[in-house]
Chains A and B, each alone.
Chain A
Amino acid sequence: MSQLPDTSGLLILPRLRIQNANAISSPLTHGFPAMSAFVGLMWALQRKLAPEVASGLRLHSVGVICHDHDEQVTEDGYTRAFRLTRNPVDKDGTTAAIVEEGRIHLDITLVFGVEGDLVNEADAERAALAKQIADVVAQLRVAGGSVLPPARLGRWSQPQLLPVPEDPSDRGAWFRALRRRWLPGYALVCRDDLLPSAAAASDSGANAVEAWLKLSRLNWSPPAEADPKTGKYEWQPDRKPGWIVPIPVGYGVLAEYPAGAVANARDPSVPFRFVESLYSIGQWIGPHRLQSFRELLWYADHDPSSGLYRVRNDYAPVASVN
């Protein structure tokens, strides 16, 4: 299994306000764009950089801290429905088929893991470069949404390109100062470790789906005994190791075709794959609980032999302080 590439610097775009990002992240999940959408943004951004910048700065991973979010859904009742804008009108004036598109407004900080010579430039050059890149991002779609100008200037909004301190013993204090700037908020990390192991999953097929669903919900169980004072049974929900959520983590191949073999492909010059979404478990944790930037960053992984295209994250849960 692959791991995070060597990282010599971080590019930080703080407090981006994104309007109308995709809230439906896969056929089975909603509430935050898929991490693969941010990885896709990273690739689009790399391609937009001027050649002289691109050659000295390679973006290879991305982390996201969510400071605030406002999903456009109904609030009442047991289930949520999406609040849509008006129906489109078809050529005959009738209402066109409505395709439900979930929307969410986000206030996020993006942190890109980078490598390349440009991270060693002087402060002023790096600041100018970070600003230039932030201007490019402002004109891209971020997870399908538009980038709005910052609500408040000054205090949280300056983009930064920072070298990772060379001496590993300096990195702890350096990162602690950085992560405090991302408060308040929650960073998404991967918790593959909470899923049943691959071997167990292959033995008991559908139970893996059931185990995943169990992690995705509140499971209430009755106590063994009644409260001695009231005589009542106080039901409790199960305790999870933090705020864990089901997330899409990429795609698995269903059928492969060489370039040009599939009609109506967006690009006839690259290999084509029919795929399905794959899922795992993620955790939202306060950035002040991250031990290193390595725990924040997500990167793309591709395994041709099994037809796997997924995003990975090297977060390692520390033993609980209990």
Chain B
Amino acid sequence: MSDNNLKTASVLAFERKLDPSDALFFSGNWSERTASKAWPGIALNEKSVRGTISNRLKTKDQDPTKLDAAIENPNLQTVDVAALPADADTLKVRFTLRVLGGTGTPSACNDAAYRQKLTATVATYVETHGFTELARRYAINLANGRFLWRNRIGAEQVEVQIARLIDGKADKTWTFDALALSLRGFDIDGAASASLDELAALIAGGLAGRHHLLLEISAFVRVGAGQEVFPSQELILDRGRGDKSKTLYHVNNVAGIHSQKLGNAIRTIDTWYPEAAELGPIAAEPYGSVTTQGKAYRQPKAKADFYTLLDNWMLKDKMPDKGNQHYVMAVLVRGGVFGEAG
């Protein structure tokens, strides 16, 4: 029952449905995890480093004498650093995640017919699949500590505790050995499976709007006393001369990871794009872009991008394959401005 007159709404926007807080960093000892509430925050420090010449030199600078001079006069740069204190071997990363209902309901849409079609399409998807597959993948990305980014690399042990908060108190808590869960795929069996199922069911219910869901996530990363830890880096346009060359994120002088960065890790569930078999999961983004690589894996040319898939589905009743249906829904959960204004 394709409606040839249907057009994409020129104004179309969705709120994000997985809403993490910023994560904050605390330090303590692995053996004292149960008392982690009292762990102190990790403050940032500044340090001076000698910049080395590593950028590609322009041809005119390739004169050997000039190069020597440049190497002998490296810039003194100030950068932010964060590290565990000498008497603590474990980093605790804590944040909350709010799961909101109403997936597929736009926050702005200026075309009633399109809105109707969208609602019907999402309803059909939910009827067929529920949010089970998406929720399971989100749950796994919490349990495997993907959101720790660089802090996960080289860790001896990583434990992730996830609590459902009701009226500020933990109603139920799950504990995961994050390093036992792969970052490459989402086929989990064994010990963690039952806990993941419970957690996924709650997330699915939250996305469907069946209940409010607020999770508290605490990851304990045993990296060794005094080791460097990695908060988010901040981007500052138009940095003044002599300013810091690297600024790290902090809240009231406690190092942290931006909520956007956590959200990106949690929605790293897309294994349905063309090169997924070799490259593993990427974040659900409209063009499959991966910021850290400066690449976009879902190209419009290949008709693999969100807009092409969504338009085909809504306007031409060409339903994407199952994987790409999940992907389109995951982009709606992500939220954004998707209108087609000229």
Contact = CB atoms under 8 A, between A and B. Distances in A.
Whether the complex brings A and B within 8 Å at their CB atoms is answered yes
Interface of A: 19-20, 70, 72, 74, 76-77, 81-95, 98, 100, 105, 135, 138-139, 141, 146, 148-150, 153, 157, 263-268
Nearest to A146: B19
Interface residues of B, number: 49
A87 B261 CA distance: 11
A100 B96 contact: no
A20 B259 contact: yes
Interface in B261-310: 261, 286-287, 289-291, 293-296, 299-300, 305
B232 A91 contact: no
B212 A135 contact: yes
A149 B235 contact: no
Contacts of B339: 264
B161 interface: no
Contacts of B290: 89
A152 to B, nearest CB: 9
Contacts, number: 110
B57 interface: no
B289 A139 contact: no
B69 interface: no
Mostly, the A contact residues are loop
A85 B237 contact: no
A72 B250 CA distance: 9
B243 A90 contact: no
A268 B110 contact: yes
Listed residue (A148, A153, A268) with the most chain B CB atoms within 10 angstroms of its CB: A148
B223 interface: no
A93 B168 contact: no
B199 interface: no
B260 A85 contact: yes
B260 to A, nearest CB: 5
Given A95-B294, A150-B168, 6 more contacts: A82-B236, A90-B287, A93-B289, A93-B293, A264-B339, A268-B110
A263 B11 CA distance: 10
A19 B10 contact: no
Interface in B228-245: 232-240, 243
Contact of B237 (A84, A105, A148, A266): A84
A70 B236 contact: no
A88 B240 contact: no
A100 B236 CA distance: 10
A77 B287 contact: no
- 3 A-B pairs with the lowest CB-CB distances in the bound complex, closest first: A89-B289, A91-B287, A84-B235
